[in-house]
Amino acid sequence: MENFIFQNTTKLIFGKNTVKTIGKELSKHGIKKVLMVYGGGSVFKNGVFDTISKSLIENNIKYTELSNIKANPVISKVYEGIELFRKENADAVLAVGGGSVIDTSKAIAAGLGYNGDVWDLYENKAAVKTEIPVFTVLTISATGSEMNGNSVITNEKKKWSVSSPQLFPKFSIVDPSVQFSLPLNQSVNGAVDTMSHVFELYFDRTEENEVMDEYSEGLIRTVMKNIQIVIKNPEDYNARANLALCATLALNNSNGMGRQGGDWATHNLEHSLSAFYDIAHGAGLAIMFPAWMKYVYRENIKKWVRFSEKIFGVNYGSEEEKAIKGIELLKEFYKKTGAPVSLREVGIPEEDLEKLSENALLRGPFGNMKKLDKDDVLKIYKIAY
């Protein structure tokens, strides 16, 4: 097991009918006016906007709105948010939505504390330092952003991330029942995203971290079981709650303890996809993960053997056969949920693979299980094609 430091200060308020506590909770922090950031119409359809607005008014908290945040959120909305926040003299950012909304909100908070272009922080030119608190009401479980300090923003074709303890939300409210009305593909993408976060941490070379391996395997099995229930019955509360909690735990650092920081190559490969095409992050990950695994599994075959055994109960064949079988079964599972499993089926032209590879490598070779250069990356995109 590797040495590590863990701290996660976010207060997680989880369960049915918790959204209406927002005003009271913000009051505890002395908040008088928030910049409320949200996406499109879903917060009106699921009633979350009304519930929040009522609760804020009841608690004498003013709000101003930044709406229309899209998937793969862009830097221009961050600039807009920073300006609006200053103009309106708000004292906190309230994210109401999924990962894109939360990441935008964190970027706004980070930008408000930085005397320069907020994009510098994503370019690692300066460190995040901000006093502006972020609070969240989560409406789509997927990215885990509700309980970590990460923010991923797209600027032109660069989809880059920043991470800072200062960007942990002060609290996050997660009511799984507001996700009943999510479109099926968004629920599936969320589940894939969650599994992918676990994979990034799980597939490493750490010696004997049994407790984290067990934990990760439990998360993966739980997601696989419960997304199948949700596909059949989108209003199954316990299944939604399990998915929501797994999404939060998968990327709140709790399952990275004593590990090597994760691989993250596949996220890089995917970020390049969604920088160019209108493809959901989860969908891109469903395509890229099995391809990456096929390319690198021999780097630590025992881990993939374990994966096959513990996740799919594969108990026959050579190490090689077991490892391959697990990867195939994962791909089959994704297919069964309706997630895409090839670049071809989402309409990406084969001649773009070269361009995608170049983009993925803008910041040089990446990956821990195997350091990937241009040649490797192109090969993986070809496997994924």
Please pick, from the candidates 131, 210, 351, 375, the single residue that binds a copy of itself as defined by CB under 8 A: 210
Residue 373 in tokens: 């250069």
Please pick, from the candidates 57, 184, 211, 362, the single residue that binds a copy of itself as defined by CB under 8 A: 211
CA 351/CA 335 separation, integer angstroms: 25
315 binds a copy of itself (CB under 8 A): no
Residue 292 in tokens: 């990456």
CA 346/CA 380 separation, integer angstroms: 16
Decide if 117 contacts 225 (C-beta within 8 A): no
CB of 309 to a copy of itself, least distance (A): 13
| 253-312: contacts with a copy of itself (CB under 8 A) | 254, 257-258
Amino acid symbol at 289: F
Please pick, from the candidates 217, 328, 358, 373, the single residue that binds a copy of itself as defined by CB under 8 A: 217
Decide if 305 contacts 384 (C-beta within 8 A): no
Element at 163 (helix H, strand E): strand 158-163
Decide if 168 contacts 150 (C-beta within 8 A): no
Taking alpha carbons only, the member of 209, 195, 359 closest to residue 293 is: 195
Please pick, from the candidates 29, 45, 86, 225, the single residue that binds a copy of itself as defined by CB under 8 A: 225
- Matching residue, tokens 């010696």: 207
Residue 336 in tokens: 């069964």
Phi, psi of 373 (to 5 degrees): -105, -175
Helix, strand, or coil (residue 295)? helix
Which CB sits closer to a copy of itself, 231 or 257?
A: 257
Which CB sits closer to a copy of itself, 262 or 367?
A: 262
| 156-185: contacts with a copy of itself (CB under 8 A) | 171
Backbone conformation region of residue 257, classed left if phi is above 0, alpha if psi is from -120 to 50, else beta: beta
Of the candidate spans 44-52, 69-77, 91-99, 220-228, the one that interacts with a copy of itself by CB under 8 A turns out to be 220-228
| 60-119: contacts with a copy of itself (CB under 8 A) | none
Interface mask toward a copy of itself for 9-28; x: CB under 8 A: xxxxxxxxxx----------
Decide if 339 contacts 280 (C-beta within 8 A): no
Please pick, from the candidates 241, 305, 327, 356, the single residue that binds a copy of itself as defined by CB under 8 A: 241
CA 137/CA 35 separation, integer angstroms: 13
CA 51/CA 24 separation, integer angstroms: 13
CB of 110 to a copy of itself, least distance (A): 22
Decide if 259 contacts 209 (C-beta within 8 A): yes
Of the candidate spans 109-117, 182-190, 221-229, 315-323, the one that interacts with a copy of itself by CB under 8 A turns out to be 221-229
CB of 294 to a copy of itself, least distance (A): 27
CB of 209 to a copy of itself, least distance (A): 7
Of the candidate spans 252-260, 324-332, 351-359, 372-380, the one that interacts with a copy of itself by CB under 8 A turns out to be 252-260
Please pick, from the candidates 104, 139, 209, 272, the single residue that binds a copy of itself as defined by CB under 8 A: 209
Residue 213 in tokens: 């391996």
CB of 277 to a copy of itself, least distance (A): 33
Q: What is the 3-state secondary structure (H, E, C) of 218-254?
A: HHHHHHHHHHHHHHHCCCCHHHHHHHHHHHHHHCCCC
214 binds a copy of itself (CB under 8 A): yes
* Binding-residue total with a copy of itself (CB under 8 A): 45
Please pick, from the candidates 68, 89, 124, 238, the single residue that binds a copy of itself as defined by CB under 8 A: 238
355 binds a copy of itself (CB under 8 A): no
CB of 210 to a copy of itself, least distance (A): 5
Of the candidate spans 51-59, 84-92, 208-216, 368-376, the one that interacts with a copy of itself by CB under 8 A turns out to be 208-216
List, in sequence order, every beta strand (DSSP E) within 48-133.
Answer: 62-66, 92-97
Positions in the binding site for a copy of itself (CB under 8 A): 1-18, 171, 207-212, 214-215, 217-219, 221-222, 225-226, 237-239, 241-242, 245-246, 249, 254, 257-258
